[in-house]
Amino acid sequence: MANYFSLILVALTLITGLIWLVDSLVFAPKRKARLQAAATAEGASYGEDPQLPYLVDTSQQIFPVIAFVLVLRSFLYEPFQIPSGSMMPTLLVGDFILVEKFSYGVKDPVFRSKLIETGVPERGDVVVFKYPEEPSIDYIKRVIGLPGDTVVYQNKQVYIKPKCDTGNNCPKLKAVPLTFQERGEFVQDMAQLMRYTEDLGTVKHDILRHPVREISPVNFYTQPGTRSNEWIVPEGQYFVLGDNRDNSRDSRFWGFVPDANLVGKAVAIWISFEFERSPSDFLPTWVPTGVRFERAGGIH
């Protein structure tokens, strides 16, 4: 839907802009000449065109608005809604976030070709990207592995061996430090999830673990030349995980995110709604039951 909306915005901007331009260059001078001739014949002074054609008038009014929205949404910031719990506790269902579109390069809104290099993802960034298996769908996950890294996921623990270009004194595979926080704030499948703080070096963030559910390595994406739970991140690609580790379909299952699929960096929650209606309620389930004002702010 987001892709179609971008195409509609581009089309409306081009159409209204062309109508305004063609009228200014071709038809407006002719109208002006006719009015001036009529005023001269009547011995009156010439005035401005009192009434523009409806299509031209409408285009002149909406073109600046649509062009502003197109520039804002395509190159600066775009709003997204969180539809699932795969990024809990960082992001909850009903959070509305802002994604910084220029964090990883300025791209054209139609073909998504990178026009200007502005940066690359860092470990710990929460990123929105086009789902590699179905690019029409937007996903949001956290960057865990950078190009050249070795990532291992074993017994609910992430291990990382950073890229080493020199071949000498290279860092060894190390477990990402975890600190237990609490249990019971979040419940899934009748089980109280365990909350930990994960330290990725430059970023500390919270994750959730299911106390019983264990993802089988046979379900993981298998990279040629590695073990079933080990991945070596190719150049120009990224390994991403959901913060709700036992309820997230991420790089463990389908592989890596190419740089070309990156949409932007999630930087803030601008509003958050609760949706707790049942199908039997009088109001539709998409009508909010409350607002979580305390959740507004930056994303970490």
For residues 195 and 43, what is the distance between their CA atoms, to the nearest angstrom? 85
Q: Which of 86, 103, 251, 272 is catalytic?
A: 86
Beta strands in 213-288 (DSSP E): 230-232, 237-241, 257-258, 262-274
Closest-CA residue to 144 (of 278, 61, 242): 242
For residues 122 and 200, what is the distance between their CA atoms, to the nearest angstrom? 10
Joined tokens for residue 32? 């002006």
For residues 229 and 218, what is the distance between their CA atoms, to the nearest angstrom? 9
**Residue 194, Cβ neighbours under 10 Å: how many?**
19
24 belongs to the catalytic site: no
Q: Which of 141, 248, 265, 272 is catalytic?
A: 141
Q: Which residue has the tokens 């081009």?
A: 14
Q: Kindly list the catalytic residues.
A: 86, 141
